[in-house]
Amino acid sequence: MGCGVSKSSQFNRNSRKAIRAAILIQRWYRQYVARTEMRRRYTWHIFQSIEYSGEQAQIKLYNFLGYLMDNFTPSSRNLISHIFREHEVCLDAEWERYFCYKNIEVPEVYSGPHLTFPLTVEQAVGLLEAFRNKKQLHSRYVLQLLLETWKLLRMFPNINRISTCQSKEITICGDLHGQLEDLLLIFYKNGVPSLERPYVFNGDFVDRGKDSIEILLILFSFLLVYPCDVYLNRGNHEDHLINLRYGFTKEVLTKYKIHGKRILKLLQKIFSWLPLATVIDQKVLVLHGGISDTTDLSVLPRVDRHNVRTTTRRGTTARRGCRSTRIRRTTSGTTAGSTSAGPPSRAPSPWDRGTASKTARCRTSPFLLTGLSLWLQILDLLWSDPMNQDGCVPNEVRGGGCYWGPDVTEDFLSRHNMQLIIRSHECKQEGYEFCHNRKVLTLFSASNYYDVGSNRGAYVKLGPDLVPYVIQYQATSLTRELTARQSIGRTERSALKVLREQLFAHKSDLICAFKKFDPGNTGFLSLNNWASAVESVMHLNLPWRTLFSQLVSKSNNGMVDYHDWFNELAIKGTNTDVRTLLETLYRHRSTVETIFRIVDTDNSGFITVEDFRKTWKLLSVYLKMEITDEDISNLAVTIDSNHDGSIDIDEFMEAFRVLDIKKPQFNPVIIAGINNGF
């Protein structure tokens, strides 16, 4: 009997040890999961914040250029006026002559696909396979395919209306952003478009990825074969001004050096004719960005969508039609008249600010239907994002469109007797996300968008019951070989690299902020003060205390030697003024490249020395920098190393490429030129 008691006591002791061990393991695991989730969230936030700030800078730039068009000297207007010309060729017959492909010969050595029209499904599939095998379509066939696409798109309404009764399911895809491997994987898993397998592609086919033109040609070829079963919605990146910044223009000119300019010009026309939305069974609205409190599906069919070649700048007609009759909604819900604002020196927005937190919006009303409100209707469709709070406010994070809340969704669906909005426009880690009581579905089809393993892609299948069935994927096999920890670590390192570049670009502002926390000029800051100062400059809402150990390599008893920290980011061999100038240029390097490509009117990749001087005069106004004519001339002579009177844009931009994540370096030729007088 005693033995039994002894065994029972031993069992109880062992049980208590096991329970304590289990609790410790559980506690450790929960802490591990919490840390991993925190790393995942701030990594994601770094990527998204920097992406959106770039879009805001893009719109701000074109608002600035538009202001120059209206207010500055003829020389400035002549330099940039071509990007705002809405009707360079007026008649359709003139367009067809301008883009005639018949005089372009296909050499016998060409080994890519050959196309004949009308296009067949075999040719469309053959084109798909050719691009899978890294072949390129000849420019003659590209122009012919684009011309046929343009003719077809002109016949489509602004809003396509389709039904599931003719097919069992409709497949909807979100942003592809030039990532051909994602499109190929979708077709592999789901099948290519056909009469029994219709598709809706929801915009943003181009930019960022390296195969944008191939994606367009594949989608256009299937559109020509199945015009009633393939539907293409316009995205905010189907815009020739956005393409200047985010890579599509450069991609086309690189792949089609001889006829690239004609291809781009025709694509401008095609983008403006893409439909704005698709309605499925009168119940599901599919559009790229979103809605606002003024979105009205009864108004959209009356919009001349092809006249809105870009949403980054209002047309003169729209501004004139709404200059003195704009109506805004205040926080109390009342309305008040307002006049148009002055030059767009602030963050770009089509709305005038009021004293209230919710900014004025132009209401849809009969006397405004040919003015600003029509432009706003399209802007909201392409740029808006949902938010959790009720209401509708300007989307100042992106610089265009609005944020709309659950109440706006509820009101919109009720007014139009619908049940679901499917939109894209935002990268989601799982490839999709429901919000607003599952009445709004965000769909993103470009997997590994920020880096390998950063996110999944997804597409949706809708049957007659209109219940969305989501399929997720990742297009690279590398993600399947990585553990969750390895995947997060890889993405985190990539995000931190981008963040270090941003910190370098704001070095002067950061030093000023540090000195406010260091009145004794000791050169040291506490961790708390360092984190507060960095956030006051960067405005990224990141856990800087947590990131400290990964951003600062050395600390002294918890104190940050910020001068030593900045030495890691210093540009060696230059004086303080030069470093400040280089830092300013580096911070705005995307804007600098965009302006250069605007000035490069013939898309040759080169600009004349004279145009280079004019460009820098524009930059000096935009960046608020004091640059003399002598400084500009010295820099131009230094960069034009072969003295042929032209500047290689790519060569100049290469000078601002960061070679090391902790020690950004610059092209010695540029440094020398700047030290010699710039």
Q: What is the per-residue pLDDT across 209-261, written as a single tens digit (0 to 9) for each?
A: 999 999 999 999 999 999 999 999 999 999 988 888 888 998 999 999 889 88
C-alpha 313/C-alpha 308 separation (Å) is 9
Query: Which pLDDT score, from 0 to 100, does residue 638 have?
Result: 66
Task: Indicate whether 321 pLDDT > 80.
Answer: no
Average pLDDT over residues 446-464: 90
> According to the model, what pLDDT value does residue 332 have?
32
**Position 132: which residue type?**
R
Q: Are 357 and 393 in contact (CB under 8 A)?
A: yes
pLDDT attached to residue 43: 77
Amino acid, single-letter form, for residue 612: F
Bridging pattern class, strands 457-462 and 469-473: antiparallel
For the residues 566-580, what does the mean pLDDT come to? 50
Lowest-confidence pick of 357-366, 525-534, 592-601, 627-636:
357-366
If you average pLDDT over residues 570-598, what whole number do you get?
A: 57
* Residue 431: closest CA among 393, 377, 392, 475: 475
404: helix, strand or coil: strand
Predicted pLDDT of residue 425: 94
Using pLDDT thresholds of 50, 70 and 90, give the confidence band for residue 326: very low
Domains of the chain: 92-313+409-473 (3.60.21.10), 576-658 (1.10.238.10)
pTM for this structure? 0.75
Please give the average per-residue pLDDT across 639-649, as a whole number: 66
Helix axes 212-225, 248-255, angle to 10 degrees: 80
Q: Is the pLDDT of residue 327 over 60?
A: no
Is residue 237 part of the annotated active site? The answer reads yes
Q: Which of 87, 114, 138, 237 is catalytic?
A: 237
646 contacts 604 by C-beta, under 8 angstroms: no
CB-based contacts of 139, cutoff 8 Å, min separation 6:
101, 104, 256, 258, 259, 263
